[in-house]
Structure 1
Amino acid sequence: MLRIRFGIFFSVFVAMVGLMIIAPVMPPLIRELGLSETHSGLIISLGSIAMAAMAPVWGNWSDVKGRKPVILIGFLGMLASYVLFTATMYVGLAGLVSGGFLVVMLIVARGLVGMFIPAVPSSAQAYMADITDEKGRSAGMAVIGAANGMGLVLGPAIAGAFALIDLIWPLYIGSLLPLVAFGVVLLMIPAQKPVIREKPKKVKPFQKGVRLYLFAGLATMLSIITLQVVGGFYFQDQLSLSTRETARMISMGLMLSGVAMIVTQGLQMKNPKWQPKPLILAGSLLLVSSMALFLFVISMAGYYAAFFLFGIGAGLMMPGFMTGASLAVSHEQQGGVAGLVGAVQGISAVIAPILSTSLYQLDKHLPFVFVALFVIIMAVTLLAVRTQTGAAIETTAAHQDVSK
């Protein structure tokens, strides 16, 4: 079991690194290519749309074809698309291709990266649901949350380290990692028979039970991405920092959040009795508290404390909404619901940058006010609506008993 969990952890970690490793070097590479910030936003946004569109597809395919084959296909696709993206950047920097054709090539390559990446976390989440019962589900999902958190921290760090050699080097590493992960999955994760023998009822995002946890997932991911997108602008304006000081501060802050997230989810792995609803509500309280610190405490120490609280809150909410969504459906629908969770993450990556920067232009405090209000509305809704997962739990347990 430990070997399988490590394989799942490493798979999700590599997928997250693959997503994050591009972000730090994208702006300088775009300028080296003679393109504009608008081109950069277009390339990244369309990649996120591809993620949102394909995550449910991969999740459903994992129910039909099996988890391991879909994860392996995802890594092969990541390898091919990363090689294409890196090669396109290379020929662009060499001056062999330029202008509109270069932009189209980059959009296609980034879109392919976005298409294949969600195959891994969607199938990995469904696999974790397959090998855990309802009592251990939150601890299992904490493994995936910790992998996300570590990828969030180490992805930009890896990019920064290899960018010291050359700006394109992080993309070489991004091309290599899926190949390594393919080997790890091949050796460490055993194949399982597809869970579907007859086509089950399709999981819908607004069906009872599922929608509340997808709402919680949307609140969590919008919060994380908003902080990443406008945090640097906000701290520079609030503390009158230089560009270099701002970069150092935002890097340290995000690292603190990532570490807090990893530690929180490590504790959850040791306490499998923690249930989804309390996890989300406790995380919501901490997330709103961190927004209050960002808004009302104008000091570097206060902001670092807010980053740490934010990491703990996100670290509680992430496995909370994943576990809740998983327990709300039957065993045969785990891939479908994992795909919807992945789609929520992709949708957040499309919405949050546009919304947060637009709000920031109106008033620099508004993005944090919006996050706080959105999380409060989500938490109140979760408190007001009674969640029912009993039938799904019984179905899942019955299937696991049969499989044993």
Structure 2
Amino acid sequence: MFRIRFSIFLSVFVAMVGLMIIAPVMPPLIRELGLSEIHSGIIISLGSIAMAVMAPVWGRLSDLKGRKAVIVIGFLGMFVSYVLFTATMYAGLSQVLSGGLLVVLLIVARGLIGMFIPAVPSAAQAYIADITSENGRAAGMALIGAANGMGLVLGPAIAAAFALIGLIWPLYIGALLPLVALGIVCFLIPAQKPIIHEKPPKVNPFQKGLPLYLFAGLATMLSIITLQVVGGFYFQDQLSLTTKETARMLSVGLMISGVAMIVTQGLQMKNPKWQPRSLILFGAVLLIISLSLFLFFINVIIYYAAFFLFGVGAGLMMPGFMAGASLAVDREQQGGVAGLVASVQGISAVIAPILSTSLYQLNKYLPFAVVALFVMLMGATLLFVKSRSKISENTRIDS
């Protein structure tokens, strides 16, 4: 069992690193190519759209073809698409390609990366659902969440380290990691028979019990991405920092948040007593407190404390909404619901950068305030539905 969990953890980690390793080097690479900021935005955004569209497809395919097969296809696709993206970038830097053709090829290659990356977390989440009991589902999903969190933290760090050699070097690593992970998956993960042998039943996002957890997933991911996208602007303006001081402060803050997220999920794996609703609600409270600290104080130490609380809150909410969504559907639909969860993450990656930067232009406090209200609305909805179901149960007992 350990080798399976290790392989699943590594698979999701590599997929997340593959997603995050591009972001830090894209702006300088785009400028080296002589392209504009809008080109960078289009390339990144279309990759996120491809993720959102393809995630449910991969999830359902894992029900039909098997989890391991989809993970293998995902890593092969990541390798090929990363090689294409890196080769195109290299050709542009060498002035072999330029202009419209260069932009189109970068968009296509980044789109392919976005298409294949969600194959891995979708199938991996479904695999964890297959091998865990209902009581242990939240702890199992904490493994996926910890891999996500570690990828979020180490992806940019790996990019920054290899960028010291050359701006394109992180892309070489992005192409190499899927091959390493592919070898480990092929040797360590036993192939499972497909869950069903006919056309997999579609998962309706609005079927009973599921929308709440997808809503929680959207709130969690919007919070995380908003902090990453506008945090630098906000802290620079609040604390009157230089560009270098801002980069240092944000890097330390995000690292504190990432470590808190990983530790929280590690503890959850060892102590699987809390169920999805409790994880989400307690995590939401911590998220709202952290966002309030960002909004109402102007102090570096308090901000670092807020980063820590944010990491703990997100670390509770992530396995909570994953486990809740998994438990809301039948065994034959685990791949489909895992795809929906991954799709929510892709949708968040499309919406959050545009929404948060637009709100920031109106007022610097708005992005964090809107996210806090959104998390509060999600938590209130979860409480309302729970209390209403209890009333229904009591009514049935009384009658």
Q: Same fold, TM exceeding 0.5?
A: yes
Question: What is the letter of the counterpart of residue 362 of structure 1?
Answer: L
Q: Is the 8 A contact 1:215 1:378 kept in 2?
A: yes
Which residue pairs with 2:393 in the alignment?
none
Q: Which residue of 1 aligns with 2:34?
A: 34
The amino acid of 1:150's aligned partner reads M
SS where residue 16 of structure 2 aligns? Answer: helix
Per-residue deviation, 1:31: 0.4
Deviation digits for residues 367-403 of structure 1, max 9, x if unmatched? 00001000000000001113999xxxxxxxxxxxxxx
2:365 counterpart residue number: 365
Q: Secondary structure at the match of 2:24?
A: coil
Q: Does 1:225 align with 2:225?
A: yes
**CA deviations over 1:192-221 (Å, ceiling 9, x no partner):** 000013445311112111110000000000
The residue that corresponds to 1:210 in the other structure is 210
- In the other structure, the counterpart of 2:191 is 191
Does the 8 A contact of 1:209 with 1:387 survive in 2?
Answer: no
- Aligned pair count reads 389
Deviations 1:136-185 (A, max 9, x none): 11110000000001001100000000000000000000000000000010
Does residue 391 of structure 2 align to residue 382 of structure 1?
no
Q: Once the 2 structures are TM-superposed, how far is the Cα of residue 295 of structure 1 from its aligned partner?
A: 0.3
Q: For residues 150 and 171 of structure 1, what CA distance do their matches in structure 2 show?
A: 19
CA distance, structure 2, for counterparts of residue 388 and residue 74 of structure 1:
42
Q: Which amino acid aligns with 1:294?
A: F
Match of 2:309 in 1: 309
Superposition deviation, residue 26 in structure 1:
0.5
1 CA distance for matches of 2:253 and 2:386? 36
- Structure 1: distance between partners of 2:233 and 2:260: 23
Partner of 2:70 in structure 1? 70
Looking at structure 2, the residues matched to 122 and 201 of structure 1 have their Cα atoms a distance apart, in angstroms, of: 16
What do you get for the CA RMSD once the two structures are aligned?
1.1
Per-residue Cα deviation, 1:338-357 (whole angstroms, up to 9, x for no partner): 00000000000000000000
Q: Structure 1 residue 99 and structure 2 residue 99: aligned?
A: yes
Partner amino acid for 2:332? E
Q: Using the alignment, how far apart are the partners of 2:42 and 2:359 within structure 1?
A: 19
- Aligned-partner Cα distance in 2 for 1:329–1:386: 18
Per-residue deviation, 1:309:
0.5
**Please, which runs of 5 or more residues in structure 1 have no aligned partner?**
390-404
The C-alpha deviation readout for 1:273-313, integer Å capped at 9, x for no partner, is 21000000000000000000000110111111111100000
Q: How many Å apart are 1:238 and its aligned residue?
A: 0.5
How do 1:224-373 and structure 2 match up within 5 A? 224-373=224-373
Q: In structure 1, what is the Cα distance between the partners aligned to 2:355 and 2:371?
A: 11
Match of 2:397 in 1: none
2:86–2:171 Cα contact (<8 Å) kept: yes
Matched residue of 2:386: which SS? coil
Q: Quote the residue 1:141 is aligned against.
A: 141
The separation in 2 between residues aligned to 1:62 and 1:55, in whole angstroms, is 11
Distance 1:39 1:171 in 2: 18
Q: Distance in 2 between matches of 1:41 and 1:335?
A: 31
What amino acid is aligned across from residue 282 of structure 1 in structure 2? Answer: F
> How far apart, in 1, do the equivalents of 2:307 and 2:235 lie?
12
Misfit runs of 4+, over 2 Å? 197-201, 386-389
Distance 1:388 1:48, change over 3 A: farther
2:123 maps to a residue whose letter is: S
Report the CA distance between 1:86 and its aligned residue: 0.3
Structure 2 SS opposite 1:35? coil
Per the alignment, in what secondary structure is the counterpart of residue 298 of structure 1? coil
CA–CA distance in structure 2, aligned partners of residues 240 and 296 of structure 1: 16
- How far the C-alpha of 1:318 sits from its partner, in A, is 0.1
Could you say which residue in structure 2 is the equivalent of 1:124?
124
Distance 1:195-1:296 versus aligned 2 partners, 3 A rule:
same
**Rounded Cα–Cα distance in structure 2 between residues aligned with 1:309 and 1:325:** 24
**Aligned partners of 1:209 and 1:388 also within 8 Å:** no
The separation in 1 between residues aligned to 2:71 and 2:25, in whole angstroms, is: 27
Given the two structures, how large is their TM-score scaled by the length of structure 2?
0.96
Contact 1:328 1:388 in 2 (8 A): no
Cα offset, 1:78, TM superposition:
0.1
Q: Offset of 1:130 from its aligned partner?
A: 0.2
Q: Secondary structure at the match of 1:385?
A: helix
* 1:116 Cα deviation from its structure 2 partner: 0.1
Quick one: which amino acid aligns to residue 334 of structure 1? Q
Distance 2:202 2:388 in 1: 19
**Separation of aligned partners in 1, 2:380 and 2:280:** 11
1-side partners of 2:26 and 2:4: how far apart? 34
Is 1:163 paired with 2:160? no
- 2:163 and 2:200 map into 1 onto residues whose CA distance is 47
* In 1: Cα distance, 2:307 partner to 2:260 partner: 9
Give the structure 2 partner of residue 395 of structure 1: none
User: Normalising to structure 1: TM-score of the pair?
Assistant: 0.95
